[in-house]
Amino acid sequence: MAWARASFKGQGVWAEVDGDGAPVVTAGRIAVRYSDKAGATIYQAGAGRVEPSGKPPVELPAGAPADETRAPASAAVNSEVRAGQPASRSGRGSGFGSAGTRTAAQATAAKAAATAQVSAAANAVRCFTDGACTGNPGPAGAGLVVKFADGRVVEKHRALGFATNNVGELAGIEMALDELDAAAVEPDAEAVIFSDSQYARGVLTQGWKAKANVELIAAIRVRLRARPGVVLQWVAGHVGLAENERADALARRGVDESRRR
């Protein structure tokens, strides 16, 4: 992961950047860290408050996401941590709140952002994935909707037996890669995997340290590296995005099958 020096609310930080040194903006946020040391806490800061220094990017050791069960290392990011999120490693600051507790304004903004993200990928293979379980851990499943540029649509689900919701989210992404392979999509071909799991995006592409599901995560990382044309994109879940809702329904079909095993 590449980082470059920047300023956030008057304080020096490292900001996540792409290969050209441009800040990586996701849902209006940029990942920032105050330390270049391994294990440094990574926060999500409002893009408008991060000022790049123009200095060249460097590779830094993996960090760890801000744990919302404790206060941030700096009061400067306190207002940037998303309110109303569960205290978990998946609770990254999107500004959209969490499904089921969003305000009307948050829901409207989240749907607009998700719709824009999907529309921007109109010329790519678009994969929508989701995971679900009852009990966490409990009977689990994964769902997938793939929309090819030629209009072809593929829908699949998978029963995962007794597992966690995070396993379901990862399995959905794994299914998307399986479908790209099955359809003989070239590794360099543009494809976007849309997931509403910040956890999955974090452990697969943001350098989050994985304490569970290590082998599955490592295997998916290898497959993503083998497909440079693939982008893993986070979208807010349960905001009325048709493909996301369908992937959720398919994942729950997998849950039902796991329950009957």
pLDDT in tens, 117-144: 888 888 899 999 999 999 889 999 999 9
Q: In this structure, are 123 and 16 located in the same domain?
A: no
Summarised one tens digit per residue, pLDDT across range 92-105 is 455 676 676 778 88
- Confirm if 130 and 117 have CB atoms less than 8 A apart: no
Please tell me whether residues 76 and 113 are part of one structural domain. Answer: no
Calpha distance 138→117 (Å, rounded) = 32
Model pTM above 0.75: no
Distances (CA, A) of 53 to 13, 19, 75: 10, 15, 22
- Residues 233, 115, single domain; the answer is yes
Co-location of 55 and 115 in the same domain: no
Q: Do residue 154 and residue 74 come from a single domain?
A: no
User: If pLDDT is split at 50, 70 and 90, which confidence band does 261 have?
Assistant: confident
Are 141 and 75 part of one and the same domain?
Answer: no
On whether both 53 and 179 belong to a single domain, the answer is no
17 vs 31: CA distance, rounded Å: 9
Residue 130 covered by a domain: yes
- Look up residue 231 and give its two tokens: 């982008």
- Nearest to residue 192, comparing CAs of 146, 157, 132, 237? 146
Position 98 in a domain:
no
Catalytic residues: 130-131, 169, 196, 238, 248
| Domain termination site, one of 38, 64, 80 | 80
* Residue located via tokens 């490693």: 89
60, 80, 100 — which closes off a domain? 80
Binned at pLDDT 50, 70 and 90, residue 83 comes out as: very low
Residue 126 falls within a domain, yes or no?
yes
Q: Band of the pLDDT at 258, cuts 50, 70, 90? A: very high
Q: Based on the domain organization, do 132 and 196 belong to the same domain?
A: yes
pLDDT above 70 (res 239): yes
132 with 67, same domain? no
Give the per-residue pLDDT at 82.
Answer: 27
Min mean pLDDT across 78-92, 156-170, 180-194, 245-259 is at 78-92
Asked whether residue 220 is domain-assigned, the answer is: yes
Domain carrying residue 173:
109-260
Q: Is the residue at 103 inside a domain?
A: no
Assign 3-class secondary structure to 140-168: EEEEEEEECCCCCEEEEEEEEEEECHHHH
Last residue of a domain, one of 64, 80, 96: 80
Question: Is there a single domain that holds both residue 121 and residue 204?
Answer: yes
Q: Is residue 182 part of a domain?
A: yes
Query: Do 21 and 147 sit in the same domain of this protein?
Result: no
As given in the structure block, the two tokens for residue 60 are 């830094």
Q: How many domains does the chain have?
A: 2
Taking Cα atoms as reference points, which of 16, 14, 61 lies closest to residue 37? 61
Stronger pLDDT, 1 or 156, i.e. the higher one: 156
Q: Which of 8, 260, 42, 243 is nearest to 134 (CA)?
A: 260
Report which of residues 34 and 217 the model is more confident about.
Answer: 217
Nearest by Cα to 117 from 247, 239, 233: 233
